Structures are given as structure tokens and as C-alpha cells.
Amino acid sequence: MTPRPFACLVFRSDADQISCEADQVSIELVGAEQHGVTQQVLENAAAAVLHYFRTEKGLKNVSLNEFAHAMVLVLRGFGFNVRVEDEEPPPVRVMETDLEGIAKECGGAFELGFFPRLRRELEVHLEQEPEVIRFTGLRSCVMRLSGSQRWGQRCQALNDQIVDYMRDCLGRLPGKIRCAVVVE
């Protein structure tokens, strides 16, 4: 039986230091089980992180927080969607456009200018790979384009036409859309 190589870090907090082997460290990773992170994957990732801190960085002491965040980076690098329990989820990248603003920009071109401009706006947003694209002001946009003072059947038809047009534009794009599109 060959002896195990020294695989230990000293975890520090404000006042205490704890010596611990990497395979004894248990980190609460949110989403780990849901995304198929097995115990073996965790042990291998912990060994890699240990190697990084000890060999690459030459450290003998690291905070538990540093170790946990390094573990998360390694697991994310392997495609797992995990985070440390106390970690705030990253902010959602949202692109927002005011539909009434697009209608104003079209001036007297009304729907003839609006729909091509809407398609370009959608394409520009998708190029930036947001997580959410939000289009606001649908009702006021419809009222402006239709020239109506009150909501009626014509307004509802135009409202539905705009939403259908956006669905059609998204459906015609090559590849898979990787974001949510919200129309309010």
C-alpha cells in the first residue's frame, strides 16, 4: 500500500485555523445534485483545487470561502450549474426596449416602419446574448400605431399581430434562442 500524498490545507477564519484533508471538506453547493455532480466528481474537483492552492499558488492557508468559490469555478468549468449556498446568484442580464419608443421613432410610417424596426431591435438584443429580453409599453404602442383613443377590436388585433410577429421572428432565427422574451 502506497502512502497517500500530503493532501491537506489549513482553513482559516477570523480567529481559528483548522487543518483538514481535501476529501473531508464538505461544501454545500446549491444545485449540485440536480445537475449530476457525484461524490467522485466533488472529490476530484477538491483535489484539483487543493493542488492549485498548494502547488500553483504556494499557499498553506486559505479561507473556507476561497476554497468554496474555487470549487464552484472548477465545477462550472465542467458545465455544472452550481453555486455556494451563501453566494448571491449572478444578476440576470436583461435587455429592455420600449415598444412605444419604437413606434414614435417610426413617425408617419406607422406599421410599415414599426415591424422592420422591431425585428432589427430583436436581432441586436440577441447578438448581445442576454438572459432576458423585455419589451415594455405594448398597450401604448398599439394605441399610438392604431391612432385609437380607446381599446377596441382593431387594437386587440394589432396587439396580437405584434406578438405573433415577434414569435415568427424568433422562430426564423438559426439555432436555439437561449433567453426569455417578455412582452408587457
- Amino acid 59: pLDDT: 77
| Of the residues 22, 56, 84, the one at which a domain ends | 84
- Amino acid 168: pLDDT: 93
Query: What does pTM read for this prediction?
Result: 0.53
Q: Does residue 145 belong to any structural domain of this protein?
A: yes
Contact 53, 59 (CB under 8 A): yes
Residues 108 and 178 in one domain: yes
Pick from 184, 88, 81: nearest CA to 133: 184
Range of the domain at 128: 94-183
| Strand ranges for the chain from DSSP E | 8-12, 17-21, 29-30, 61-63, 83-84, 94-98, 132-136, 180-183
> Could you tell me the CA-to-CA distances from 116 to 42, 44, 107, 122, 150 in Å, in that order?
50, 52, 14, 10, 26
Q: Block means of pLDDT (10 residues each) for the chain, length 184 residues?
A: 46 51 51 66 79 78 75 80 66 89 88 93 90 94 93 95 94 81 90
- Amino acid 21: pLDDT: 53
Q: Number of structural domains, the chain?
A: 2
Q: Does residue 63 belong to any structural domain of this protein?
A: yes
Residues 102 and 77 in one domain: no
Residues 109 and 165 in one domain: yes
Residues 51 and 125 in one domain: no
Spatial distance between the Cα atoms of 135 and 38, rounded to a whole number of angstroms: 40
Spatial distance between the Cα atoms of 94 and 128, rounded to a whole number of angstroms: 10
Beta bridge partners of 135: 97, 183
